Structure 1
Amino acid sequence: MRVAIVAESFLPNINGVTNSVLRVLEYLREEGHDAIVVAPGARDYQEEVPDYLGFEIVRVPTVMIPLVDSLPIGVPTTSVLRSLNTFRPDVVHLASPFVLGGAGAFAAMQARVPAVAIYQTDVAGFATQYQLSLLSSMAWEWTRNIHNRCELTLAPSSEAIRELESHGIRDVHHWGRGVDTTLFNPGKRSELLRRQWDPSGRKKIVGFIGRLAAEKGVHRLASLVGDPSIQLVIVGDGPERKALQRVLPSAVFTGALSGEELARAYASLDLFVHTGEFETFCQAIQEAQASGVPTIGPRAGGPVDLITEGVNGLLLDVSSFTTDLPSAVDTLLDGSRHPQLREQARAAVENKTWHALGDQLMGYYEQAVTGYRRSHVNLFGREMVLPRWVRKPRRSRSA
């Protein structure tokens, strides 16, 4: 199959959207499919990646939204449609579509190719966090416009599916995320690294790993500052780092890590806390669990599907997250239950491989192609789109 991926974010920028696209490309290469990526260009101080696994990357210009350093935007150009017409894909994969992905949806229609939209970023929630009220009010209308032009929308969690359907988005199906259980596993735990973080060797290590941006809510860890039994570790970088260093003066800030360094950091924690409520999935929770680390997250969005309370972690209400956090940490770090929680965290994700998710995605691609052919007929040399009531009804999948 020939797959054109239009991505709102890609290398050298590292985030959840980029990581998912990379895993999809790796699956497509392994299974012998062909692909092309249309993505924003690098920022001024970054070096662009010319290809990935031999797949061509077509770049469009990048601009930054004021105040939102974590959200670079690809500027749609005629190269989007031109790339599709040249590559002639069987399906267009829209990775977290909003601006560039919106152009990708329209280009797919013009090129007469079915599109599959991957919902991954809560743009409306981010806009609210950044106090961009105009963008927030328009976000759902624009999101609905994009997704309902696609054959299918794939959402990573039950909460995301309900949210999309409540805003009038049709044909929503479940597609989660895999996790590399070889890279992220308890065997990467490093006593040397733990001693670097806590020279006394007596504290429990509680950490956050992710982008340091306002929507992540890392400031909520402030309720743990001053506890002499806890060493906070913050792994990541972003526009909020300096402010967080003031709010969390006793925390260790490692900067951004990747590969084996990241895996050792995860496995060397005693507890992982995710503080943001705008996650449509939250891959960091899965990576922590694969590393044998119990997790705390907000009772909102993707974490609701990933954390089973009392089994591999705890969920906290967003409204009382900060005040409830110290007691939740004490509960999960209790010596009588912590070893079992570590084992159960790992067990929760052992079967969530990226290859299995790739197989499922390929099934959705095939479904989109079949549905497109069923709904688009050629009559006297002109393509006609059948109304939705003529087509076979589809129901949202929960697995």
Structure 2
Amino acid sequence: MASAQTASVNLNRSLPYANTDQKRPKLRVAIVTENFLPKVDGVTRTLARLLEHLNAEGHEAIVFGPETGIRQYAGHAVVGTFGVPLIVYPGLKLNFMRPRFVRRLQQFKPDVIHFVDPIWLGAQMLPAVQKWLPHVPCVSSYHTNLPTYATLFGMPWLEETMWNLTRSLHARCEMVFCPSESTRRMLRGKGFENVEIWSRGVDTTMFGPSARDDNLRASWGCTPNPATLQNTSLSSSEAEQLALVQLAAKLGIQVSRGSSAMHRRKSQLTNGNSPDDESFIRTPPTGPSLTGSPELSPPPSYDSLSGVPELPGAAFELPPPALPTNNKSSSQVVTSTITANTQQQTSKTVLLYVGRISWEKNIRLLIEAFRVLPAPVRANAKLVIVGDGPARADLTRLCQKYQLDATFMGHQKGQRLASMYASSSLFAFPSFTETFGQVVLEALASGLPVIGLHAEGTSDLVSHGTTGLLLDVKASSTPSSPRSSPQKNRLAALRGESTLTNKTTSDLSGSDTTNGLPTPIPSVGEFAFAMHPNTPAFESCTREYSLLLERLIRDRNLRTAMGQRAQIQASKKTWWDAMDAVVRGYEKVIQERGTSNLSDEELEALRKEQQKVAPLTGPIAKLCVVVYLALFVALWLSMLRD
């Protein structure tokens, strides 16, 4: 009996809710966030998706966050407050709670309160919420590895303190969401409890190979690929899955389980007792494809220093090259070995990076690895960097100093961003501070193999040797690891025998779908040690990452096979399923707390009553405001007299 009950519970967890015909209660969700639109990053985009999902499912929400001029989003009210900009990280603010937050919370009467990445505003709101709304359950979500940034910015002594603060804030909530399994393992190792997965999805009607724009490639100086590219490495079942995914994208339908979903759906129609996948019922269509949109014309590029602001100070010097360039004989031998194969490609291979251009994203590794590619391989490749941030000026100068064929496209979104994915050949993502990596999922859905690091977030999405290649920084930067000469290493990698893994060429083109590498993910300290420029460890990692780039630049058939499998795997992650996981979490904590929802009439009557005696607005609060203003005026007058 116990085993049957356990099986039933596991089955219910695998579905959006136990009974697809059951009417779900309407929820009122209050969201407290440190950042919000129009600032665009992974957190704000995911939060926007959640608000759209709540609106589509009939739920009501209210957002408390920084003042951005936005009063409403997706039909939900947005209440802002003032903040102080961070000097060390432009674009972020320390936001302060205002009394109006508590008043609006009590008037809204939420069923659950969601704290998004609580660190400053969340630390102020949590005690207020537990005082004024003690019976309302709270949940939190962990999106950004803020404690690790202390080590990356040269303050390792602060990391433990930030972990203690973050852990204590999330411990006040009854459930903690995180984006990936690797992040959950890390959080549990840090003492976090009740951690659940809140994954991400991708819009396959927007991000896909059909968004390719040959005019955009021409603006990059790249000729179009051949109309047809034969590939025989896919099995018949994988080919059927790929055809289904491409057809569904054209019809505006999201397929979340590949070709087998159609068979399960067919069995459901013939046997109503089947508990299998019901994604064709649960996931609403998102409309027709926009592949013919005129917005696919090439956006302006930033491939020179024009328009890039000068750095403060006149004595700007670039650091010395990461790798020595005095081994000319080895380079000549490798060059003569690969020239024939390189010349067979008639189109440049586009290496794409998408994300914030800041130092913690580790873009320096990509630029250095691109620089040490053999000259014929580098001449057949193009580096495209999409995004903006505080390090753009420095990295632009670095690319110009090395005379690299690199183009900075600035911030992009929507169909233009989708066309950049689809018009590229590889996605290079050297970041190791991600909790999920939304851009990695978008690249996979666009049919791009990913070359990244064996790190949290990326390793949860990329299947090494199947949908991309991953660099194990710990193994590559260890001085005691066996090393042959750079010439032998490069020649071995070109034959598909890279020293980084034990996979053979047949493994690389196989059907293994296990994500990541079997080795443990390195710690932040190990990443920081290996990624510090001008050190032997960084030189070794740069060389190894360059080998991975070269491997896929040269082997177009392997690149195509990986891209096709990447598209199949990414199509299984839909936004509806990802966002509804949070709603199920809300329902769970509400049920465990034992609270019941008020009807619309009861809620309206309660709000009218609370408007008369709202907290922090009585005579004592008004007297405090008058005293504060009087002291401010007195101080101002005394300064004028002086």
**Normalised by the size of structure 1, how large is the TM-score?**
0.88
Question: Contact 2:222–2:348 (CA<8 Å) still a contact in 1?
Answer: no
**Among candidates 334, 358, 369, match of residue 579 of structure 2:** 358
Distance, in Å, in 1 between the alignment partners of 2:221 and 2:592 is 57
1:100 aligns with 121
Compare 11-20 and 62-71 and name the one that shifted more: 62-71
Question: Contact 1:96–1:117 (CA<8 Å) still a contact in 2?
Answer: yes
Question: Contact 2:356–2:389 (CA<8 Å) still a contact in 1?
Answer: yes
Q: Trace 1:332-351 onto structure 2 (pairs within 5 A).
A: 332-333=552-553, 334-351=555-572
Distance, in Å, in 2 between the alignment partners of 1:355 and 1:321 is 38
Question: Contact 1:208–1:233 (CA<8 Å) still a contact in 2?
Answer: yes
Q: Give CA-to-partner distance per residue, 1:26-51, whole Å, 9 cap, x none.
A: 10010000000111123xxxxx2221
Q: Which amino acid aligns with 1:161?
A: R
Structure 1 residues 61, 214: closer, same or farther in 2, change over 3 A?
A: same
2:188 aligns with 165
1:353 is displaced (CA, Å) by: 0.8
2:370 aligns with 224
Distance, in Å, in 1 between the alignment partners of 2:161 and 2:100 is 26
**Among candidates 14, 28, 34, match of residue 2 of structure 1:** 28
> In structure 2, the residue corresponding to 1:253 is in which secondary structure?
strand
Q: Which amino acid aligns with 2:65?
A: A
Distance, in Å, in 2 between the alignment partners of 1:330 and 1:182 is 31
Unaligned runs of 5+ in 1: 43-47, 375-399
Q: Give CA-to-partner distance per residue, 1:234-260, whole Å, 9 cap, x none.
A: 000011100110222331001000111
1:214 is displaced (CA, Å) by: 1.6
Question: Contact 2:141–2:178 (CA<8 Å) still a contact in 1?
Answer: yes
2:95 aligns with 74
1:203 aligns with 348
> In structure 2, the residue corresponding to 1:56 is in which secondary structure?
strand
> In structure 2, the residue corresponding to 1:69 is in which secondary structure?
coil
Richer in strand (by share): 1
Structure 1 residues 276, 4: closer, same or farther in 2, change over 3 A?
A: same
Question: Contact 2:349–2:425 (CA<8 Å) still a contact in 1?
Answer: yes
**Is 1:25 equivalent to 2:171 in the alignment?**
no
2:197 aligns with 174
**Among candidates 235, 238, 257, match of residue 386 of structure 2:** 235
**Is 1:303 equivalent to 2:324 in the alignment?**
no
**Among candidates 246, 252, 256, match of residue 397 of structure 2:** 246
> In structure 2, the residue corresponding to 1:348 is in which secondary structure?
helix
Distance, in Å, in 1 between the alignment partners of 2:115 and 2:187 is 16
Question: Contact 1:70–1:213 (CA<8 Å) still a contact in 2?
Answer: no
**Among candidates 7, 11, 14, match of residue 40 of structure 2:** 14
Question: Contact 2:96–2:124 (CA<8 Å) still a contact in 1?
Answer: no
1:328 aligns with 548
> In structure 1, the residue corresponding to 2:110 is in which secondary structure?
coil
**Among candidates 136, 141, 158, match of residue 164 of structure 2:** 141
1:200 is displaced (CA, Å) by: 6.0
**Among candidates 133, 150, 153, match of residue 127 of structure 1:** 150
Distance, in Å, in 1 between the alignment partners of 2:422 and 2:389 is 22
Question: Contact 1:220–1:322 (CA<8 Å) still a contact in 2?
Answer: yes
Structure 1 residues 195, 32: closer, same or farther in 2, change over 3 A?
A: same
> In structure 1, the residue corresponding to 2:570 is in which secondary structure?
coil
Structure 1 residues 337, 273: closer, same or farther in 2, change over 3 A?
A: same
> In structure 2, the residue corresponding to 1:248 is in which secondary structure?
helix
1:96 is displaced (CA, Å) by: 1.8
Question: Contact 1:70–1:238 (CA<8 Å) still a contact in 2?
Answer: no
Compare 278-287 and 101-110 and name the one that shifted more: 101-110
Compare 109-118 and 61-70 and name the one that shifted more: 61-70
2:413 aligns with 258
Distance, in Å, in 2 between the alignment partners of 1:88 and 1:241 is 45
1:348 is displaced (CA, Å) by: 1.1
1:389 aligns with none
Distance, in Å, in 2 between the alignment partners of 1:235 and 1:331 is 23
Distance, in Å, in 2 between the alignment partners of 1:121 and 1:242 is 25
Distance, in Å, in 2 between the alignment partners of 1:296 and 1:107 is 45
Structure 1 residues 256, 126: closer, same or farther in 2, change over 3 A?
A: same
Question: Contact 1:7–1:101 (CA<8 Å) still a contact in 2?
Answer: yes
Distance, in Å, in 1 between the alignment partners of 2:408 and 2:451 is 20
> In structure 1, the residue corresponding to 2:545 is in which secondary structure?
helix
Question: Contact 2:198–2:579 (CA<8 Å) still a contact in 1?
Answer: no
> In structure 2, the residue corresponding to 1:273 is in which secondary structure?
strand
2:5 aligns with none
1:194 is displaced (CA, Å) by: 1.0
Distance, in Å, in 1 between the alignment partners of 2:435 and 2:126 is 21
1:103 is displaced (CA, Å) by: 2.7
How high is the sequence identity, in percent, across the aligned residues?
37
**Among candidates 45, 54, 59, match of residue 75 of structure 2:** 54
Q: Give CA-to-partner distance per residue, 1:296-355, whole Å, 9 cap, x none.
A: 221111111101001111111233542222211122331221111111111111121111
> In structure 2, the residue corresponding to 1:164 is in which secondary structure?
helix
Question: Contact 1:130–1:214 (CA<8 Å) still a contact in 2?
Answer: no
Q: Which amino acid aligns with 1:85?
A: Q
Question: Contact 2:200–2:579 (CA<8 Å) still a contact in 1?
Answer: no
Q: Which amino acid aligns with 1:301?
A: E
Distance, in Å, in 1 between the alignment partners of 2:205 and 2:158 is 40
Question: Contact 1:81–1:108 (CA<8 Å) still a contact in 2?
Answer: yes
> In structure 1, the residue corresponding to 2:557 is in which secondary structure?
coil
Distance, in Å, in 1 between the alignment partners of 2:164 and 2:183 is 16
> In structure 1, the residue corresponding to 2:92 is in which secondary structure?
strand
> In structure 1, the residue corresponding to 2:219 is in which secondary structure?
helix
Distance, in Å, in 1 between the alignment partners of 2:363 and 2:40 is 19
Question: Contact 1:80–1:103 (CA<8 Å) still a contact in 2?
Answer: no
Distance, in Å, in 1 between the alignment partners of 2:214 and 2:157 is 49
Distance, in Å, in 1 between the alignment partners of 2:157 and 2:92 is 16
Question: Contact 1:84–1:107 (CA<8 Å) still a contact in 2?
Answer: no
1:89 is displaced (CA, Å) by: 0.7
**Among candidates 194, 197, 213, match of residue 358 of structure 2:** 213
Distance, in Å, in 1 between the alignment partners of 2:128 and 2:426 is 45
Compare 334-343 and 236-245 and name the one that shifted more: 334-343
| Structure number with larger C-alpha Rg | 2
> In structure 2, the residue corresponding to 1:127 is in which secondary structure?
helix
Compare 82-91 and 204-213 and name the one that shifted more: 82-91
Say what the alpha-carbon RMSD is for the aligned residues: 1.7
Question: Using CA pairs below 8 Å that are at least 6 residues apart, which structure has the higher relative contact order?
Answer: 2
Q: Which amino acid aligns with 2:214?
A: E
> In structure 1, the residue corresponding to 2:469 is in which secondary structure?
strand
